[in-house]
Amino acid sequence: METIVHEFPPYREHETAPEPEAHGHHADIGFWRKYIFSSDHKIIGIQYGFTALCFMLFGFFLMLMMRWQIAHPGAPVPVVGPLLAKLLGQPAAGGIMSPELYNSFGAMHGTIMVFLAIVPLAFAAFGNYVVPLMIGAPDMAFPRVNMASYQAYVLGGVVMLVSFFIPGGAAQAGWTSYSPLATSIPTDGQLFWILGMVLLITSSLLGAVNFIATIIQLRAPGMTWMRLPFFVWAQFVTAFLLLLAFPPLEAAAIMQLMDNAAHTSFFLPTGLAVGGQLAHISGGGSPLLWQHLFWFLGHPEVYVLILPGMGIVCEIIANNTRKPIWGYKSLVYSVLVVGFLSFIVWAHHMYLTGMGTKIATFFQATTMMISIPSVIILTCLFISLWGGSIRFNTPMLFALGFLPMFGIGGLTGLPLGLAPTDIPLHDTYYVIAHFHYVVAPGTIFALFAGIYYWFPKMTGRKMNEFWGRVHFWGSLVFMNLVFMPMFTQGMEGMLRRMADGGANYSAARVPGALNTLPNDIMALHTWILWAAIALGLAQVPFIINLFWSIHHGEKVQNDNPWEATTLEWQAPTPPPHGNFAEPPQIYRGPYEYSVPGHATDFTPQNEPDRPGSPALAPAH
Amino acid sequence: MTQWFADKVLHLPTLASKNGAAIDELMVYIHVLMLALFVGWILYFGYALYRFSQSRNAKANYHGVRSHASNYLELAVAAIEAVLLIGIAVPIWARAVDKFPAADESTVIQIVAQQYAWNVRYPGHDGIFGRQDMKFVTSENVFGVDPTDAHGKDDIQVLNEVHAIVNKPVIIYLSSKDVIHSFRVLPMRICQDAIPGLRIPVWFTPTKTGKYQINCAQLCGPGHASMSGGFLFVEDEVDFQKWIGSKSGTSASFE
Amino acid sequence: MEIPYAVYPRPDTGIYNAKVGIWLFLASEVMLFGALFSAYVLLRVGAPTGEWPHGWLNVTLGTVNTLVLALSAITTLLAWVACKTRQFDKFKIFHACTLMLALTFLCIKACEYHDKWIHYEIQLTDGRIADGHLRGSDANSVTIEGRYVTDEKDLYDLRAQKEIKSGEITIPRSQIKSMENYGPWHNTYLALYFTLTGLHALHILGGSIVIGYLWGPGRKLWKTDPEHFTNRIEVSGLFWHFVDLVWIFLFPVLYLT
Ligand code: HEA
Ligand code: HEA
Ligand code: CUA
Ligand SMILES: [Cu+2]
C-alpha cells in the first residue's frame, strides 16, 4: 500500500490561490456557482437532502388527507378542503376527495416517498456528503455528472408535481402502475408519471455510476476494502442495485409510454374491453410482463431503501457504544449476499397472479433465504451493544429505535414470503404495515439519526439535544400508533387502496354477510388519523431545530465532536472544497474504539502507528 | 393450542373452507416463530441497554461478545424457515394449483370480472358450457359464447352472485374483461387475480352455508372500493337446484 | 483541487476513472436491452401460432447496415490506435469515417421506417383485404402498389410464399372499411421492431453527437493533454462497440427469424 502514497496526486489547487471556502467567505465564485450549480459533493449532498426532506413532508401531507378520507369517507377535507377544490377543480369538488383523487394521491404518495424522498435522502444525500469524506477522497470521481444527476432529479420531481394540476390529475394506478389499468385511465397523469420516472431513473443511474467509480478509484492510500466503514459498503451495494435494477423499469416505462402514446399493445391482451367498448388495439400483449419488469426493479428497490439506513445505524452504534462493531466481516458479506439475492425474489409480489408450483417454490425459497442475511445483520448490530459503554444522545436514540422497528417490519415479511399465507394477506393493510415498519420507523429513523449525527460536520454546530429527544419519543410513539393497528386491520381483511376505507365491506353496510369488517376494526381508522396528525406535529420540533441550529446551535469544540474514528471527522469543519488539507494515510480498520492500552477510547483510522500501540489490529 | 393462538392472538377471520385450515396452521406457526424472535431479542435488547449504559459501564470492552451462540440462533432460524417452507408451504401450494378435484364432482363456474362487477356463468342442466371463442367477445357477450352452439343454450349467466353447494368442491375459471381485478373470499381463504387475456382456475371446498362477501383485492380504477356488490351463497343441494331452476331459460342469449 | 486518476490509471486497480464509469454504464445498458429482449421473447412465445410475421423486413438493407456498423467498429478502433501512436492526422480521417458510417446507418434506417410508414393494410367492405404501399390517394379513391388477400393470415409469413405478385390497385373509398399503416400500433411485431430499433437508433444518434464533438470542437484537448484526449476516444469507442453489439443481436432477431 505504501507505494501508492507517492503516486497520490496532491490535493491542493495547482494555482496558489487559496480555497475561498477554506477562509469562510466566498469571494471569487458567485452564489450561483457555489450553491445552485455547484459540483462540490458536499453542496450537492445538502441540496439533495433539503429537496428530499421537502418531498417527504409533501408526501406525508398527501397521506394525511388520505387518512382523513379513510376515517371520514365523503366528508370535505378540513382546513385544506377549499384550497384543494380551487387548485384541483373537479376531482376535489366541494373539498371532498373523489375516488379518482384518492387514487392519485395514493399513487403519488408511494412514488414520491420512494423515488423522491427516501432514495434521494438515504442514497444521494448521505452518500454524496459522507462517502467521499469517509474514504478520504477530494470529491466524487465525476463532479459534473454528479451535478447533472441532481438536476435530473429536480426535473423529475417538477414533472411529478406538475402532473397534479393537469386536467384529470396525476397518475391513479398506484405506484406499481399495473397495465392495463395504467393505460385505460383517461388522463395524461400516467404519461407525466412515466416521463418523471425516466428522469428519476436517469438521475439514479448517473449517481450509481459515480458512487461505484468513486469507491473503487478514490479510496485514500491504505484504505483497503476491509477497512471501509460499513456505511460505505452499504452505499456500494445500493449503487449496484440501482445500476442494474433500474434499467428494466426504464425499458418497461418505455413500453408503457408506447402503449399510452403510440397505441401499441405491449401490456394489452387481445379482446380487451375498456369502459364497455372493445378497445381498438392490436392486442397480443401481456399484463404480467409489466409486473415482472416492475418488480424486477421493485424488490431490489426496497433494499435500496433500507441498506443505507443500516449503514448509518451501524456507524452511529459503533460510535456510541465506544467499541468495535461485532462481526464486521459477516456484516459485509451479508450485505453483499442481500444485494445479490434481491435480484431473484421479485415474484413474491406476484404469488396470486396464477403461479405454478415450481416457480412459486423457487421464489418462496429465495425469499426465505434473503431473510437470513438480514437476520445476521440485525444480530450483529444487536450483539455489538454487549460490553459497550452506551451514550444515549439523539443520534443513538434514533439508531437504537431503528433496530426493533426494522425487526418488526422484517419479521412480518416472512408470512408474506410464504405463498399460502400470502393468500389471505395479499393487498391487505398487513402488507402496508409490513413495509411501513421497514421504511417509516425503520429507514426514516435511520435518516433522522444520520442528520443529527453528521449535522455538526456540515455546520460546525450541534442540533439541540432536548428537542432532539422530544422529536425521538414523539416519533417513536406515534409511528407505532399509526402502523401497529394496521396489522390487525389487515388480518381481519381490510384491503389497501380503498378510497372509502373499506366502508363498503363493513358490517354496517352489508348486514347479511358472514365476512364483513367488524365495527371495531373500522373504528381504528379514527385512531390512526389522530396518531398520524400527532406524528406530523412531532416533526415540528425537528424542523425548527434543524433550521435554528444552523446559526444558533451549540458550537463544536473541534473537528471531531463525537470522538469518532472514521475519516470524515478528521477533516476540517465544514470540509473545504477538496476536503482534506493533505492526503490522509489510513492505518487501520474503521471501528477501533477502546483499543486496550490506547490513550483515548478512540483511534482514528488515519492516526499513525506509535510503537507499543496495537493499532494495526485487523478490523472486526 | 394452535386454535387458541389463531383465535385469541392473531384473530384470524372466520374460516369456512376445507383448504383453509392448512393455511391458518402455517399462519400460526410462522407467527409463533416471529413472536419468539421478537420477544427474545427485545428482552436481550432491553437488558443490554440497561446493563451497558455509560453510567453503569464507563469503560467499553474492546472485544465484546466472545461466544458464537448467535451463529446457532441464525442456523436455527434458517432451519425452521426451511421446514415451514418445504414441509408445509410448498405442499399446500401444490394442492391448490395442481390437484384439482374432478370436474364432475364439483360445481364448475366461469367468472369474468369487469369494472366493477362479476359476470358469473353456469353450464346449466347439461353440465356443459357452450363453446367459446375470443372472436365472439363483445361488450355484452363477455364470455365469447358461440351463439350457434347448442350446449350454450341452457347456460346460465348472472351478475354478482355466485352459488355453491356446501361440502362440494367449487372450481372457478377466472378472467377479466378490462383491467386486473382480484377475486377474494377471505373465509374460503382464496384470492386470485383476474387477469385479462388469461383464464386462471382456482378451487375451494366451502364447509359452512351462508352468504359471503366477494372482495376485489386489486386496484381496478375509481370504483375499486365500491366493487362490493358480489356475493357467494353457499347452500345445500336442494336450495342450489331451486336457484338453478329459477334461472334456467333466462340465460343470456346472443343471437 | 483535481480528481485523482482522472487521466492515468490507479496503480492497484490499473484503470482510470472514466473507464470504470463507462463499463458500469454499459452494464446498465445491458440490463436495459436485456429487459427489452426478454420482452421480445415472452411476447413472441405467447403469440398465437402462425400469427408471427416473417420476412417483413428488407434483409438486404439490414445486411448492409450490419456491415456499415461492423466497419465503423473497425474505424473507431483504428482512430484510437492512431491517438495512442500520436498520429493525429490519421485519427482525424478514421474518426471522420466512423461519423460518416454512423450517418449512413441512420439514413438507411430512416428509409426502412418510411417504407413501413406508407405500407397500408386496407379492410374492404366485401371482407377482402388489400395490402400494399400507398402510391396516391384523393377524396374518393386510394391507390396502392400491392395485392388482395382473403385471409389476414396470408399476410404474416411472406418468406413462405415464394413470389408475391403485386400490382397497382385503386380502391374507391366507398369500399374501404378501415385502413391502417404498418406503424408500431399495427401489431406486436412492429411494436417491438420500432421500439427496439428506435431505441438503438437513439443510441447511434447520441454516439454520433459525441464522436462529432470529439472530432470537432473537442479536439482542442489534444493540444493540451493528448493522453486525456486518447482516453476520451477510448471511452467513446467502448460505447460505440456496445451499440454495434446490440445491433448484432437485433439484426437476426428481427430480420432473419
Ligand atoms: C425497505 C423496504 C423493505 C424491506 C427491507 C422488505 C423486506 C422484506 N419483505 Fe417486503 N415489501 C416492501 C418493502 C420492504 N420489504 C414494500 C414497499 C412492499 C409492498 C409493495 C407494494 O405492493 O406496494 C413489500 C411487500 C412484500 C411482499 C409482497 C406482499 C404482497 O403484496 O402480498 C413480500 C412477500 O414475500 C415481502 C417480503 C419481504 C421479506 C421476506 C423481507 C425480508 O428481507 C425481511 C428480512 C428481515 C427480517 C427477517 C428481520 C430480522 C430481524 C430479526 C430476526 C430481529 C428481530 C428483533 C426484534 C424485532 C427486536 N415484502
Ligand atoms: C419510503 C416509502 C414510504 C414512506 C416513508 C411512507 C410513509 C408513510 N406512509 Fe406510505 N406508502 C408507501 C411508501 C411510503 N410511505 C407506498 C409505496 C405505498 C403504496 C402506494 C400504493 O398503494 O400504490 C404507501 C401507502 C400508504 C398507505 C396505504 C394507502 C392505501 O393503500 O390506500 C398508507 C395508509 O395509511 C400510508 C401511510 C403512510 C404514513 C402515515 C407514513 C408516515 O410514516 C410518514 C412519516 C413522515 C413524516 C411524518 C414527515 C416528516 C417530514 C420531515 C422530517 C421533513 C422535514 C422537512 C424539512 C426539514 C424541510 N402509506
Ligand atoms: Cu375490481 Cu378492484
Ligand atoms: Cu419484495
pLDDT tens digits along A467-506: 999 999 999 999 999 999 999 999 999 999 999 999 999 9
Question: Does C26 contact chain A (CB < 8 Å)?
Answer: no
Give the residue from chain B lying closest to A406, CA to CA. B38
A3 pLDDT band, cuts 50/70/90, is: very low
A450 pLDDT band, cuts 50/70/90, is: very high
Average pLDDT on C78-107 reads 95
CB B163 within 8 A of CB B240: yes
For residues B136 and B114, give the distance between their C-alpha atoms in angstroms, rounded to a whole number: 17
Write down the pLDDT at residue B165.
95
Question: Mutate which of A355, A403, A431, A444 to test ligand 1's pocket (most atoms within 8 Å of Cβ)?
Answer: A431
**Residue B132 beta carbon below 6 angstroms from any ligand 3 atom:** no
| Cis peptide preceding B116, ω within 30 of 0 | yes
| Residue numbers in C near A210 (CB within 8 A) | 21
| Residue numbers in B near A392 (CB within 8 A) | 53-54
Rounded mean pLDDT of chain C?
93
Across A183-192, A219-228, B181-190, least confident range: A183-192
Number of Cβ within a 10 Å radius of residue A543? 12
For residues B95 and A376, give the distance between their C-alpha atoms in angstroms, rounded to a whole number: 34
Q: Whose CA is nearest to atom 49 of ligand 2?
A: A57
> Cell for A453?
449525527
For residues C84 and C78, give the distance between their C-alpha atoms in angstroms, rounded to a whole number: 10
Rounded mean pLDDT of chain B?
90
| Residue numbers in A near B52 (CB within 8 A) | 321, 385-390
Average pLDDT on C222-251 reads 95
Write the single-letter amino acid at A74: G
Closest atom of ligand 2 to A535 CA is 48
Give strand pairing partners of B109. B172
For residues C238 and C76, give the distance between their C-alpha atoms in angstroms, rounded to a whole number: 9
Three-state DSSP class for residue C13:
coil
**Residue A583 beta carbon below 6 angstroms from any ligand 2 atom:** no
Question: Does B101 contact chain A (CB < 8 Å)?
Answer: no
Question: Does C184 contact chain A (CB < 8 Å)?
Answer: yes
Number of Cβ within a 10 Å radius of residue A78? 11
For residues A520 and A524, give the distance between their C-alpha atoms in angstroms, rounded to a whole number: 6
| Residue numbers in C near A248 (CB within 8 A) | 31-32, 34-35
**Residue B111 beta carbon below 6 angstroms from any ligand 3 atom:** no
Give the residue from chain A lying closest to C10, CA to CA. A217
List, in order, residues 6 or more apart from A195 with CB less than 8 Å away: A159, A257
Question: Does B44 contact chain A (CB < 8 Å)?
Answer: yes
C79 closest CA partner among C235, C254, C248 = C235
CA distances from C170 to A78, B107, C147 (A): 67, 57, 11
Chains that touch B (3 or more CB pairs under 8 A): A
What percentage of chain C reaches a pLDDT higher than 70? 100
Q: How many beta-carbon pairs under 8 angstroms link A with C?
A: 142
Give strand pairing partners of C120. C132, C181
Question: Does B142 contact chain A (CB < 8 Å)?
Answer: yes
* Backbone torsion region of residue A502, taken as left when φ is above 0, otherwise alpha when ψ lies between -120 and 50, otherwise beta: left
CB A81 within 8 A of CB A146: no
Write the single-letter amino acid at B116: Y
> Cell for A138?
477530494
Rounded to two decimals, the pTM is 0.94
DSSP letter at B17? B
Rounded mean pLDDT of chain A?
91
For residues A479 and A575, give the distance between their C-alpha atoms in angstroms, rounded to a whole number: 35
Q: Which of C43, C194, C199 sits opposite A285 (nearest CB)?
A: C43
Question: Mutate which of B27, B37, B71, B193 to test ligand 1's pocket (most atoms within 8 Å of Cβ)?
Answer: B37
For residues C201 and C191, give the distance between their C-alpha atoms in angstroms, rounded to a whole number: 15
Write down the pLDDT at residue A28.
57
Write the single-letter amino acid at A438: V
| Cis peptide preceding A167, ω within 30 of 0 | no
Buried b (16+ CB within 10 A) or exposed e, A474-513: bbbebbbbbbebbbbbbbbbbbbbbbbbbbbbbeebbeeb
**Residue B176 beta carbon below 6 angstroms from any ligand 3 atom:** no
Q: Do A323 and B62 touch (CB under 8 A)?
A: yes
Q: Do A491 and B196 touch (CB under 8 A)?
A: no
**Residue B189 beta carbon below 6 angstroms from any ligand 3 atom:** no
Average pLDDT on A144-150 reads 95
Q: Whose CA is nearest to atom 54 of ligand 1?
A: A407
Question: Does B48 contact chain A (CB < 8 Å)?
Answer: yes
List, in order, residues 6 or more apart from A473 with CB less than 8 Å away: none
Cα–ligand 4 centroid distance for A299 (angstroms): 4
Average pLDDT on B98-120 reads 92
Nearest CA of chain C to the CA of A352: how many Å? 20
Write down the pLDDT at residue A113.
97
* Backbone torsion region of residue A136, taken as left when φ is above 0, otherwise alpha when ψ lies between -120 and 50, otherwise beta: left
CA distances from B3 to A187, A209, B12 (A): 50, 53, 10
**Residue B116 beta carbon below 6 angstroms from any ligand 3 atom:** yes
Give strand pairing partners of A426. none
Nearest CA of chain B to the CA of A532: how many Å? 22
Q: How many beta-carbon pairs under 8 angstroms link A with B?
A: 295
